[in-house]
Structure 1
Amino acid sequence: MEKNVTDIVIKRGWDIGQSTRIATLYDEAFGFKFSGAIANKEARVRILSKSFIPDFSYVAFVDHEIVGLAGFQTHYGSLTGGMSLSVLIVELGVARGIWAATVLSLFERKPKAQELIMDGIVVDSKFRGKGIGSMLLDSIVSHAGKNGYDSVSTLAI
């Protein structure tokens, strides 16, 4: 059955038990970005699921299933803020962990005090074309406005 836009619920964050679903969805869209740092897909998803900070995101649900995600970062933190050198070393070993941290640091951009940076939007391929990405973007922009951010920008991928 085709889902209507009215069936879509956007919420800030997610339950930690849904981290693997979030990481899998994120990796489907941005795995190419992380593959130079962490080549193994299983390892990427495992590390992402342990590293994401739910408060720095908005999530789209259809019938309680996560179908989209929009991450963001501020000077307070970011969606991927839990991906530290120590986590990478524990998960990948010293040499690969340091390599991954070095490569990933090339993608980092620190927001200014009153800037919110969009850190990627992803929508499950089965749900694209239903306005979910736009709804997630609207949620990020609304969040920025309600919380006194002067600007919203994107993180170049």
Structure 2
Amino acid sequence: MSKDTEPGPHAAAGSVTLLRGLPAGAQRRAAELYWEAFGRKLGPALDPPGTALPFLAAHLHADRAVSALVDRRLVGLAGYQLGGRSLTGGTLSDVLQAYGPLRGLYRAALLALFARRSAPGELVMDGIAVDATARGTGVGTLLLDEVAAIAAEHGCRRIRLDVIDVNPRARALYERRGFRPVRTTSTPYLRGLMGFGAVTTMHKSVAKGARA
């Protein structure tokens, strides 16, 4: 494992370094990566970007993140939910403060559609985002494998994630890393609003004490 001035465990592969957590001062950059990956889905709830990015940056939980760095620049981010705490946060009060009482209530209701809870012995993925300049270089695989290692260290028996029907590239990556679809839920009422019409839940079993 490589070591540098950032806190937390690290692992390196080629020119990519993994960090459990976020680099100091990288909240805004992390929010930008997250928005680039999920803005299409979250846009109706968090738009405009001028409000969404500061909101996301202010309510990220760094202890539920894995970062990928190249030359100390954040190029990839994976979030997860464990023990009731996830990468993205923000209470109803936070939403109302950022967007106002009327717009905030509507947006909070939309965000509630994405709320997920982990079952005992389960780690839930809270999104994975890779900068366009780093796609196809194995960064996504490194992030997924590190999250799998975290799940094993916490005694989880499986990892769960959801992938929308308009993101086949992400689904292909998950399948290559051992995730299998367990159910698909049609959401035609969301196609016009959020741009997707189905969500597939995928599971991956975790070998105790083993890395993916």
Alpha-carbon distance change, 155 to 74 in structure 1, aligned in 2, over 3 angstroms: farther
Identity percentage over the alignment?
37
Compute the TM-score of the two structures, normalised by the length of structure 2: 0.69
Matches within 5 A, 1:68-107: 68-80=76-88, 82-107=89-114
Higher relative contact order (CA 8 A, sep 6+): 1
Match of 1:14 in 2: 22
Q: How many residues align?
A: 152
Q: Which whole-Å deviations, capped at 9, do the CAs of 1:5-53 have from their partners, x for residues lacking one?
A: 5110001111452100000011001001111112201111111001110
Moved over 6 A (4+): none
Gaps of 5+ in 2: 1-12, 165-212
Whole-Å Cα distance in 2 between the matches of residues 10 and 119 of structure 1?
A: 17
> Any idea what SS the aligned residue of 2:30 has?
helix
Gaps of 5+ in 1: none
Compute the TM-score of the two structures, normalised by the length of structure 1: 0.92
Whole-Å Cα distance in 1 between the matches of residues 158 and 73 of structure 2?
A: 31
Instruction: Indicate the structure (1 or 2) with the bigger Cα radius of gyration.
Output: 2
In terms of fraction of residues, the more helix-rich structure is 1
Whole-Å Cα distance in 2 between the matches of residues 123 and 70 of structure 1?
A: 9
* Contact preservation (8 Å) 2:84, 2:118: no
Moved more, 21-30 or 106-115: 106-115
Whole-Å Cα distance in 1 between the matches of residues 41 and 115 of structure 2?
A: 12
Residue of structure 1 aligned with 2:116, choices 104, 109, 113: 109
Match of 1:36 in 2: 44
Residue of structure 1 aligned with 2:55, choices 34, 47, 58: 47
